[in-house]
Each structure stands twice: as C-alpha cells, then as structure tokens.
C-alpha cells in the first residue's frame, strides 16, 4: 500500500520517526487541493498515540480539501543544517500518512482533547482562567485529527547508524 523507502541506508526506525514527530512544533500538512493541485500548509500540531491534532477556522481551503479527500500526509523536519563544504544538508525528518477527520461536533470528546493537547504544548504557562475561557470557545473552531496509518523517518546518511540518529 505504501512505497518502500528507496534510500534504505537513510531510513530511520519507527521509534526514531515517532520521536521526531512528537518533538516538533510545526510541520507541513499535505492535502489534495482544488482542481487536482497539491495543497500543503505549515501548521502547529499535537500528537497523542496514533493521532495528530490540529486547530482550524471553520471554513477554508484546508477543510474543503479534507472533505473532498480524507487521505493526507504530514511532514516534520527536526533538523536542517546546510554543510556547504560537503555540498549536502544534514537533516532528520518524519512523514506520517493517514486519514483526517474534521471534528465539528462540540459533544465529541476528541474535540476538547485535541484543543487541550495543543494548549498544553503551546501555552503551558497561561493563566488557568484564561485557558478555560479559550477552551470554552469550542464552537468557534474545527479540530482536524489525523489517524496515522504509516510513519517513516529519514536522516542524512552522516547522522544515522542502524536506523537510529547518532
């Protein structure tokens, strides 16, 4: 179903790919956009198990794309260092493939869970009263959630040994 990585010497273990995914602050969500064009959008996220949670306005290109085709991918680059004298880049990255569901129903516990995960990750020191007030605005947002079906990780060959980052 999913292609095997061509450069197997650069392939990371699943555990290393998961670490990159969990450690990042933002990634690029790739969707099937209008008129068959790819649509890729940089976005913040939070991970819980095999789910990736996002935050969205109630209308827009991203939501339209998901409604048309729920198959998505999400890429996180953890390290990116240009090494000019070697004509290369030292990098580590992970790509998740899966299906996305749009949580619009305020009674769906996954909606609040996703927003709480995002708040914990990006606003951990915000006053509890302000946080509660913001989380109470459930009806103002949609929470897209991606269920991971396949995860790959890749690194520059200089940074990898036996599938792990050195």
Task: Check if the beta carbon of residue 16 is closer than 8 Å to that of residue 164.
Answer: yes
Task: Check if the beta carbon of residue 161 is closer than 8 Å to that of residue 19.
Answer: no
Task: Check if the beta carbon of residue 117 is closer than 8 Å to that of residue 124.
Answer: no
Distance of alpha carbon 14 from alpha carbon 16, whole angstroms: 5
Confidence of residue 142 (pLDDT cuts 50, 70, 90): very high
DSSP SS3 for 130: helix
Distance of alpha carbon 55 from alpha carbon 115, whole angstroms: 7
pLDDT of residue 138: 76
What is the average per-residue pLDDT within 65-91?
95
pLDDT of residue 87: 93
Q: Is 93 exposed, middle or buried (0-12, 13-18, 19+ CB in 10 A)?
A: buried
* The pLDDT of residue 95 is above 90: yes
Of 10 and 100, the one with more pLDDT: 100
> Mind listing the domains of the chain with CATH numbers?
8-156 (2.30.110.10)
Distance of alpha carbon 153 from alpha carbon 158, whole angstroms: 15
Helix (H) or strand (E) run with residue 68 in it: helix 61-68
pTM: 0.91
Task: Check if the beta carbon of residue 92 is closer than 8 Å to that of residue 20.
Answer: yes
DSSP state of 28: E
pLDDT of residue 23: 95
Residue indicated by tokens 């939501």: 63
Supply the DSSP string of 137-156, one letter for each residue: -GGG-BEEEEEEEEEEEEE-
Confidence of residue 22 (pLDDT cuts 50, 70, 90): very high
């Amino acid at each position: 179903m999913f292609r095997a990585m061509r450069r197997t010497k650069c392939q990371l273990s699943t555990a290393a790919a998961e670490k990159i995914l969990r450690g990042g602050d933002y990634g690029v969500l790739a969707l099937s956009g209008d008129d068959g064009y790819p649509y890729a959008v940089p976005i913040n996220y939070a991970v819980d198990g095999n789910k990736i949670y996002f935050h969205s306005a109630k209308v827009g290109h991203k939501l339209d794309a998901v409604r048309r085709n729920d198959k998505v991918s999400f890429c996180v680059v953890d390290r990116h260092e240009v090494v000019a004298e070697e004509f290369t880049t030292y990098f580590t990255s992970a790509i998740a493939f899966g299906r996305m569901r749009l949580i619009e129903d305020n009674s769906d516990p996954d909606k609040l869970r996703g927003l709480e995960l995002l708040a914990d990750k990006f606003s951990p020191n915000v006053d509890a009263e302000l946080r509660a007030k913001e989380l109470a605005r459930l009806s103002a947002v949609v929470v897209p959630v991606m269920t991971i079906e396949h995860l790959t990780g890749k690194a520059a060959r200089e940074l990898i040994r036996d599938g792990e980052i050195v």
